[in-house]
Structure 1
Amino acid sequence: MWRRWGPPESETFQIAMRYIVATRMTQHWEGLALHSPDEFVKHLEQGYMEPIPVAWVQDRRLAWEYPEGARWETPAEERLYYMLNNGVMPDGQKRAPMRPLNFVRDRQTIIRRGNERNARQVRIDAQKLAAYQSRGDAFHSDRQIQSHTYSDQVPNTITPTRQRALHALAEGIQQGTDHLETMILIDVSGSMTWNPHDGVTGPDNVRRVHNQPPNIVLVENLVHRVLHHMLARAQRAHPRQEGIDAVTFSASGTYVGRLSAARFARDWAQRVAPQLGGGTQVMQGWQAVKAQYFRYQHETRGHGRCDDVYGWQPTPGMPKLSLLVFLDGEAADMDEFELELLGEAWAYVTIALVGMENCPHHHSHAIELERVAAFNPHVGFFDVHGRVCERLVVEDLLGSVYPVDPPRYDEILRPEFDLPPSNARLGYSY
Structure 2
Amino acid sequence: MRPSRSNISDFMSFVPDADETKAVLFVEVCIGKSYIELRLTNLVEYASSINEAVDQYYENPNRHSQRSHRPPSSMNNSMTASTTAWAQSGDLNHTTSPTSPTEPPSYALATRSISVSTGSQTSPRPSFVATSSSVSRHPHENALIRAAKVRAQDESEMQKMLHSVQLSCRIYNPEIEPEHETHLLCECPVHMYWKRRLNRLDVLEMWSKAVVYPGEKPYHDFAHLRLSNNNPYSNIMTSYSLAGASIYGIAKPNPELHAKFVQQTIALDSALNKKAQAAVQLMEPSFNIWELEQLESLVSNMSLTRRTSANDELNSEKSSKRSRFRKALSVSSSDERTASKIKKKLAGSFQLRSEILKEEQGRWQDGIDRQIVSTYQERIGIARAVSEIRMQKPIQYLNHLRAGYFEPIPVAWQSQASNPLRFTIEASAGWRGVTPAWRGYKDTAEERLYWVLSHRSGCQITTKPDLISELELARERIASAVDSHPRYHSPDDICRNRYPREGYSKQITQDFETTYDIGSPTDETMLLLDVRGSMDFNPLRPNYNQYLITSLLKTDQPKSKDLAKAILRRFIEALGKHDSNGLGYPFVTFSSQANYINLVNGWNLNDVWRNVRFTGRSRVMVGWQKVKEMHFQKHSETATFHPIYGWQAGPQTPKLRLILILGGEVNDMDEFELSLFDVSWASITILLMGADGCLHHHRQASRLRRMADSNPHISFIEAQGLVPERLVTHELLKHHLGQDFSMSEFENLEQQTAELPSPSEPRAQRTQSGQSQLEQLLIELPSVEETRIWQRDYQLPQTPGLYELSGVQRPTELPANDRSVAVQHPPRPTRPAPSPPQLDHPLDPPPPYLETGSSQ
Question: So what's the TM-score if we normalise by structure 1?
Answer: 0.82
Offset at residue 364 of structure 1 (A):
0.4
What letter corresponds to residue 155 of structure 1 in structure 2? Answer: T
Q: Tell me the equivalent position of 1:231.
A: 576
Instruction: Pick from 629, 633, 658 the counterpart of residue 295 of structure 1.
Output: 633
**1:21 aligned to which of 367, 378, 398:** 378
Between the aligned partners of 2:752 and 2:497, the Cα distance in structure 1 is 16
Equivalences for 1:13-412 in 2 at 5 Å?
Answer: 13-59=370-416, 60-61=418-419, 62-67=421-426, 69=428, 70-88=439-457, 92=458, 94-100=459-465, 106=467, 108-125=468-485, 129=486, 131-142=487-498, 145=499, 147-156=501-510, 162-163=515-516, 166=517, 169-170=518-519, 173=520, 179-196=522-539, 199-201=540-542, 204-235=549-580, 242-270=583-611, 272=612, 274=613, 276-298=614-636, 302-403=637-738, 408-412=745-749
Q: Quote how far apart the aligned CAs of 1:265 are.
A: 0.6
For 1:18 and 1:424, the matched residues in 2 are separated by 54
Displacement, 1:212? 1.2
Task: Rate the CA distance shift 1:49–1:259 in 2: closer, same or farther, 3 A.
Answer: same
Residues 222 and 424 (structure 1), Cα distance of their counterparts in 2 relative to 1, 3 Å cut: farther
CA-CA distance at 1:235 after TM superposition: 4.3
What letter corresponds to residue 26 of structure 1 in structure 2?
Answer: A
Alpha-carbon distance in 1 for matches of 2:625, 2:497? 35
Q: Which has the larger radius of gyration?
A: 2
Is contact 2:588–2:596 with CA below 8 Å preserved after alignment?
yes
Contact between 1:250 and 1:278, CA under 8 Å: does it hold in 2?
yes
Larger RCO (alpha carbons 8 Å, 6+ apart): 1
**Structure with the higher strand share, 1 or 2:** 1
> 1:406 deviation in Å?
5.6
Preserved contact between residue 260 and residue 267 of structure 1 (Cα < 8 Å) = no
Contact 1:57/1:283 (<8 A) preserved: yes
What is the distance in 2 between the residues matched to 1:308 and 1:394? Answer: 40
Change in 2 beyond 3 A, CA 1:269/1:158: farther
Q: Counterparts of 2:679 and 2:718 in 1: how far apart (Å)? A: 23
Change (3 A) 1:11 1:230: farther
Instruction: State the percentage of identical aligned residues.
Output: 30
Q: For the Cα contact (< 8 Å) 2:598–2:608, is it kept in 1?
A: no
| Aligned CA distance change for structure 1 residues 423 and 316 (closer, same or farther; 3 Å) | farther
Per-residue Cα deviation, 1:257-312 (whole angstroms, up to 9, x for no partner):
21121111111112x2x2x11101000010011011111122xxx22222111111
**CA shift in 2, pair 1:157/1:373, >3 Å:** farther
Q: Out of 132-141 and 398-407, give the one that drifted further.
A: 398-407
Query: Structure 1 residue 416: deviation in Å?
Result: 6.1
Q: Secondary structure at the match of 2:574?
A: helix
TM-fit CA distance, 1:157 = 5.6
Three-state SS of the structure 2 residue aligned to 1:208 is strand
Paired residue type of 1:119: A
- After TM superposition, the structure 1 stretch with the greater mean CA deviation from structure 2, 368-377 or 112-121, is 112-121
Q: 1:86 to 1:159 in 2, by over 3 A?
A: farther
1:12 matched to 2:347: no
Mapped contact 2:594–2:623 kept (Cα < 8 A): yes
Q: Is the 8 A contact 1:159 1:374 kept in 2?
A: no
Task: Mark the CA change 1:68 to 1:42 in structure 2 (over 3 Å): closer, same or farther.
Answer: closer
Q: How many pairs align?
A: 385
Write the letter of the residue equivalent to 2:583: E
SS in 2 for 1:284: helix
Cα distance per residue 1:353-396 (max 9 Å; x no partner): 11000000000001111111111111101111111111111111
Hey, which bits of structure 1, 4+ residues long, moved more than 4 A? 157-160, 233-236, 404-407, 422-425, 427-430
Secondary structure of the structure 1 residue equivalent to 2:412: helix
Rounded Cα–Cα distance in structure 1 between residues aligned with 2:709 and 2:537: 31
Deviations 1:74-93 (A, max 9, x none): 111111111112213xxx3x
Q: 1:331 to 1:228 in 2, by over 3 A?
A: same
Measured on the aligned residues, the alpha-carbon RMSD in Å equals 2.7
For 2:513 and 2:615, how far apart are their aligned partners in 1? 34
Structure 1 stretches of 5 or more lacking a match? Answer: none
Give 1:318 deviation, angstroms: 0.8
Match of 2:571, SS?
Answer: helix
Structure 2: 5+ residue stretches without partners: 1-106, 108-128, 130-360, 429-438, 755-833, 844-856
CA shift digits 1:28-78 (9 cap, x unpaired): 112222321332232223211211111111223112322363521111111
Distance 1:133 1:114 in 2: 26
Whole-angstrom CA distance in 2 between matches of 1:363 and 1:47: 32
Question: What TM-score do you get using the length of structure 2 for normalisation?
Answer: 0.43
AA aligned to 1:50 is E
Query: Partner amino acid for 1:377?
Result: P
**Aligned in 2, Cα 1:111/1:413: closer, same or farther, shift over 3 Å?**
same
Amino acid in the other structure paired with 2:462: P
Give 1:24's aligned amino acid. Answer: G
Cα distance in 1 for partners of 2:690, 2:562 equals 12
Contact kept in structure 1, 2:422 and 2:443, CA below 8 Å: yes
Note if contact 2:528-2:659 (Cα within 8 Å) is conserved in structure 1: yes
Instruction: Write the distance in 1 (CA, Å) between the matches of 2:645 and 2:587.
Output: 23
Measure the CA separation in 1 of the matches of 2:647 and 2:464.
32
Structure 1 distance, partners of 2:719, 2:660, is 12
Deviations 1:96-151 (A, max 9, x none): 432145xxxx3x444332212111111123xxx2x222122121122xx3623111
Q: Given the superposition, is the C-alpha separation of residues 189 and 37 from structure 1 closer, same or farther in structure 2, using an over 3 Å criterion? A: same
- Give 1:412 shift: 4.7
Q: Would you say the 8 A contact 2:542–2:696 is kept in 1?
A: no
**CA distance 1:416–1:232, shift in 2 (3 Å):** closer
CA–CA distance in structure 1, aligned partners of residues 723 and 477 of structure 2:
18
Q: Is the 1:259–1:267 contact (alpha carbons within 8 Å) kept by the matching residues of 2? A: yes
Contact 1:23 1:342 in 2 (8 A): yes
CA shift digits 1:314-364 (9 cap, x unpaired): 011111111111002111111101111111111111001110000000000
Distance 1:226 1:215 in 2: 16
**Residues 1:244 and 1:36: Cα distance change in structure 2 (over 3 Å):** same
Secondary structure of 2:598's aligned partner:
strand
Cα separation, 1, equivalents of 2:502 and 2:603: 29
